[in-house]
Amino acid sequence: MTDQLEGQRMRASVLHGVEHVRVEEREVPTPAADEVLVRIEAVGLCGSDVHYYRHGRIGSFVVEQPMVLGHESAGVVTAVGSDVDPTRVGQRVSIEPQRSCRVCAWCKRGEYNLCPRIEFYATPPIDGSFAEYATIQADFAHPVPDSMSMEAAALLEPLSVGIATARKAGMAPGRSVLIAGCGPIGLICAQVARAYGVTEVVMTDLVPARRERALQLGATEVLDPAAGPLPEARFDAFVDATGALPAVRSGIMATAPGGTVVLVGMGEDDMSLPVGTITSREISVTGIFRYNNTWPTAIALVQAGLVDLDSLVTARYGLDDVVTAIETDTDPGSLKSVIVPGLR
């Protein structure tokens, strides 16, 4: 099922170094036996894409060779590998952008995001999906209903981060959560919290427009962190979606005894945290490294109308305008930009 695309060319937006992106022609990739080839129709711009563009690295992940950015993606299956059901051609799918080894201890217990041999879209040296086509293992190309937009299907990826966060935070009916940061991930976490029955969802952000948006998308209350200290020891869980040390420290202080802190935002590798408070209150502090086994839940939440992903999209760009999309990241009015490879 791949002969018709062999030798064909596609366009891709490629990162060559810090603040150096250009559109190139590449061969359309050929799916391996267990893979599908997807014609990419929408890709969300993530903070990690911006970080790689501006710094050329995230922690120990360093861009040392040209790399296609983008990992929040959806499209249509156009070809399949030899071991894949050919009836999958034509399916609308959301891509879970990781490939695990499937045989290590972490994979066998379902924690494949922690696989030491994991490959992930747009994480060096693996190419991402700011391109017209991409391949992925067939069972990581999740079919989505016709009623779901391609943009929402692409944003099932950050929604999966929100679901993984909710699981770590123990979100449940009657509980309270404080979320720092009203950007896309913070707003998604708020929507997931409400979907999971969390009664009190308080969000903080320095930007008034983002606080207003948060009230429309799940927050029960918003606070300006610059206006004064947060309530002490009040919340069952704290989620940091900023990576900013002041937000992390104040969030820990606002966490109740026995509560949970989940660090989602990308910040400094080393932070000075109030260990005495963490110890005396028996606060659990954990990180999030992507997700596992989240797509069925993500699809169900969107289908049920419990999470609205389409409203997060504030702009669309073609492959030629990826840099423009990245530069809007500093615009307070910009929330989520989507790259549409077919847009010229």
**Model confidence pLDDT, tens digit, residues 19-56:** 999 999 999 999 999 999 999 999 999 999 999 999 99
Give me the half-sphere count of Cα atoms (radius 13 Å) on the Cβ side of residue 190. 31
The bridge status of strand 176-180 relative to strand 200-204 is: parallel
Per-residue pLDDT of 74-106, as tens digits, reads: 999 999 999 999 999 999 999 999 999 999 999
Per the domain annotation, does 302 fall within a domain?
A: no
What is the pLDDT of the chain when averaged over all its residues? 96
Same domain for 76 and 49: yes
Per-residue pLDDT of 115-130, as tens digits, reads: 999 999 999 999 999 9
pLDDT given at position 4: 62
Same domain for 248 and 117: no
Query: pTM here?
Result: 0.95
Place of tokens 């869980």: 237
Same domain for 327 and 278: no
Q: Residue 207's domain is classified under what CATH number? A: 3.40.50.720
Place of tokens 């930009």: 337
Same domain for 121 and 229: no
Q: Considering its fold, how many domains does the chain have in total?
A: 2
Structural domain for 329, as ranges: 3-155+309-339
Place of tokens 């120990």: 60
Q: Give the contacts of 331 (CB within 8 A, at least 6 positions apart).
A: none
Q: 283 falls in which pLDDT band (50, 70, 90)?
A: very high
Strand partners, 13: 23
Distances (CA, A) of 336 to 187, 281, 311: 11, 37, 9
Same domain for 128 and 8: yes
Q: Residue 315's domain is classified under what CATH number? A: 3.90.180.10
Q: 267 falls in which pLDDT band (50, 70, 90)?
A: confident
Same domain for 136 and 14: yes
Per the domain annotation, does 304 fall within a domain?
A: no
Tell me the mean pLDDT in the region 310-326: 97
Same domain for 335 and 260: no
Per the domain annotation, does 298 fall within a domain?
A: no
